Amino acid sequence: MSNALTSSDARRWWALSVLSITALMVALDATVINIALPRAQLDLHFSSANRQWLITAYVLAFGSLMLLGGRLSDLWGRRTALFVGLAGFALASALGGWAHSFAVLVTARAAQGVFGALLAPAALAALTTTFDDPRERAKAFSIYGAIGGSGAAIGLLLGGALTQWATWRWCLYINLVFAAVALVGVALFVEGGRREHHIRLDVPSAVLGSAGLFFVVYGLGHAVTTSWSDVFTWNSLVIGALLLVLFTLLQQRVKSPLLPLRLIINRVRGGSLVALFITNIGIFGISLFLAYYLQSTIGYSPLRTGVAFLPMVVALAVSAFIASARLLAKVGPRPLVPTGMVLGMMGMILFTKLTLKADYFSHVLPGLVVTGLGLGLIFAPAFASATAGIKAKDAGAASALVNTTQQIGGSMGTALLNTIAVSVTARAQQALPAQLGRGTRAGVIAQIHATLHGYTVAFWWAAGFFAVGAVLTFALLESGVPEPEAELVPLI
């Protein structure tokens, strides 16, 4: 009996490793290609205007199909969904790495997003139904949250290393390694559980939900490449919002809703979703503006830029493993998540002090460490609380809701903070004295100062989002030892 129990315990932790690898692959693919884009553009001869589509194609497919992917994992079973998602993601990555035209490459990126939308909720759902003991659950979600939260920064590092030492194509081929390891791991350690045969896929719900999310994500992305005043941006957002309203009304009437509305009325789950939404708005300021600053302002190479983010990854891991894993099962999410939000706010404020001649160790590193510590206190408790108490039949839908919340938050952060930075920079440049010509040294320095001013204002906005998040999560989340999840059906 003891040996069987030990074997079962070991199997759960091996399953966690496999699911974490899967989450890392999906998360880093949102950024791993970014640094490789200039090399890919030279190789395939596509325009700078088309370059954005290699990011947009992935984000659109990933964000719009997440709810459908989550329900399919409930319908098929988690193991089957993971097999299909991993195999499809690997094939799409191989096609992208082989691509000799822009059309093939952008198609491959869209296909990655499609299968990523199946993988992300299936992995989180499998984790949710694997760990039901509060203490084990806290440790498991701390590891999973640290790895998932570090995905964007790891993607920048990996993309820089592969582009510099190999070729941009390996930014896609590397997924074959991740997928192969994960496929073997899923076969050995992850139980799929029973299929929920009483669940039926409601096609009108799938169409309305996916279309609504598509238009919202597309509208936010369009705001980045054009502006918030563009009529197409608002048409897309309004259409998306109307479709999502219709989707919500439909979910109240159908027998097998794509997103059971009972999942979002729980106070703690709502607070956790708010935490993930706001964090993904604010975190954009780190991954984009800081990367621009390191490369364009102080002259870091792509690889060195990726390495520069490592302290944040380490701080996030330390915070998640030591603080969240030890404290979540004892004190609950309320003391941890708002504290993490305050640390995130402090990190953003530190980044507002960046200057033209800033030193990495005295000006950049402190903000990265403080922010990383904060993110570690947010992601693990928020993931765990957002999926706590979920019945096995709804694990995929709940996990999809978590991932969709993150995706919409990230898209909104991209659109909003980028617009703020660009508009502030443009106004600062227009206010420059006419005698500062663009070609002169003084003119160039003035232009850089204007750009830095745009970053600074965006960082202040990001700090404001974290501050709002601290207040909201303190009001919504609960303290104390979580109740055992009696509704959870352990599958391993």
CA distance 295 to 456: 16
Task: Return all residues near 293 (Cβ < 8 A) that are at least 6 apart.
Answer: 354, 452, 455
Mean pLDDT of 380-401: 83
- CB atoms near residue 394 (< 10 Å): 24
CA dihedral 148, 337, 276, 302 (to 10 degrees): -50
Task: Return all residues near 429 (Cβ < 8 A) that are at least 6 apart.
Answer: 447, 450
Token pair 């076969």: residue: 187
pLDDT in the model for residue 378: 92
CA distance 76 to 201: 11
Tens-place pLDDT, residues 110-119: 999 999 999 9
Q: For residue 225, which amino acid is it? A: T
CB 245 within 8 A of CB 298: no
Task: Return all residues near 407 (Cβ < 8 A) that are at least 6 apart.
Answer: 59, 62, 63, 66, 217, 280
167-170 own/partner pairs: CB under 8 Å, 24+ apart: 167/39, 168/33, 168/36, 168/37, 168/39, 168/40, 168/43, 169/97, 169/98, 170/97
Q: Residue 409 class from Cβ within 10 Å (0-12 exposed, 13-18 middle, 19+ buried)? A: buried
Tens-place pLDDT, residues 96-129: 999 999 999 999 999 999 999 999 999 988 888 8
Token pair 């040294």: residue: 441
CA distance 174 to 162: 9
pLDDT in the model for residue 8: 65
Q: For residue 476, which amino acid is it? A: L
Q: Which CATH number fits domain 9-201+256-476: 3.20.20.70, 1.20.1250.20, 3.20.20.140, 1.10.10.10?
A: 1.20.1250.20
Tens-place pLDDT, residues 282-295: 887 677 788 888 88
Domain ranges of the chain: 9-201+256-476, 202-255
The pTM (predicted TM-score) of the whole model is 0.84
Token pair 């559980």: residue: 193
pLDDT in the model for residue 32: 81
Task: Return all residues near 203 (Cβ < 8 A) that are at least 6 apart.
Answer: none
Mean pLDDT of 401-427: 83
More confident residue, 434 or 204: 204
Tens-place pLDDT, residues 158-181: 888 888 888 889 999 999 999 999
CA dihedral 114, 117, 122, 124 (to 10 degrees): 150
- DSSP letter at 484 equals P
